[in-house]
Amino acid sequence: MESVVKRVIVGAGGRPEQLAALRRAAGEARRHRAELHVVAAYGAGETCRSGPHSIGTLDLLVAQRAAATAVLREACAKALGSVRDDLSAVLVAVRGHPAHVLLQHADDQGDLLVVGIRPAGPVRGAFSRRVARVCLRHARCPVLVVPHHGGLTGCQ
């Protein structure tokens, strides 16, 4: 039985491994004629000392969402240039831990989840490898892990 990819979901930001994953995800979306969902997580673990219902908390969340959306736009511009007519892209900024946000978004068998990792060094790539590991372990859909090796910058 052949699987049909309807959506390609990728976590994106400004780090090189995320840009490499975004480029690969765009290629997969084109190949499958699927919709590309570019997702950024923000504000994980951050709390406001003034309480859960204060105006300061709302302002903080609005500012975090705006910053995450700006990062998404910048990442798309860096990795993809302008989005062409052959690619339908949706940008999504969600509050939470990156792995959990990606897993919640990629919740269907028709999804393909793309995550980038930086394999070099025990500290530099530790966070991206941790997110990839959680996604591989808990995803309900196929997961494509894209390694970034410093010098690779071309689109796929």
Band of pLDDT at residue 26, cut at 50, 70 and 90: very high
pLDDT value at position 155? 38
Of 1, 4, 5, whose CA–CA distance to 112 is shortest? 5
- pLDDT tens digits, 135-144: 999 999 999 9
Amino acid at 68: A
Residue 125, both tokens:
């790539």
Domains recognised in the chain with CATH numbers: 7-147 (3.40.50.620)
Q: Above 70 in pLDDT, residue 130?
A: yes
Torsion region of 36: left, alpha or beta (phi above 0 gives left; psi -120 to 50 gives alpha): beta
Q: What percent of the chain has pLDDT over 70?
A: 77
Radius of gyration, alpha carbons of the chain: 16
Measured N-to-C along each axis, helices 98-105 and 126-138 cross at an angle, to the nearest 10 degrees, of 30
The residues pairing with 146 across neighbouring beta strands, listed in sequence order, are 116
More confident residue, 8 or 80: 8
Query: What value does the mean pLDDT take over residues 81-92?
Result: 81
Band of pLDDT at residue 48, cut at 50, 70 and 90: very low
Q: Above 70 in pLDDT, residue 98?
A: yes
Q: Is the dihedral of CA 136, 95, 116, 107 positive or negative?
A: positive
pLDDT value at position 123? 53
Please state the pTM of the whole predicted model: 0.81
Q: Parallel, antiparallel, or unpaired: how do β-strands 143-147 and 89-96 relate?
A: unpaired
Distance in Å from the first CA to the final CA of the chain: 27
pLDDT value at position 152? 42
Listed in order, strand segments (DSSP E) in the chain are 7-11, 35-43, 89-96, 111-117, 143-147
Q: How far apart are the C-alpha atoms of 25 and 155, rounded to whole Å?
A: 10
Angle CA(31)–CA(95)–CA(135) in degrees, nearest 5?
Answer: 50
pLDDT value at position 51? 52
Query: What value does the mean pLDDT take over residues 137-154?
Result: 79
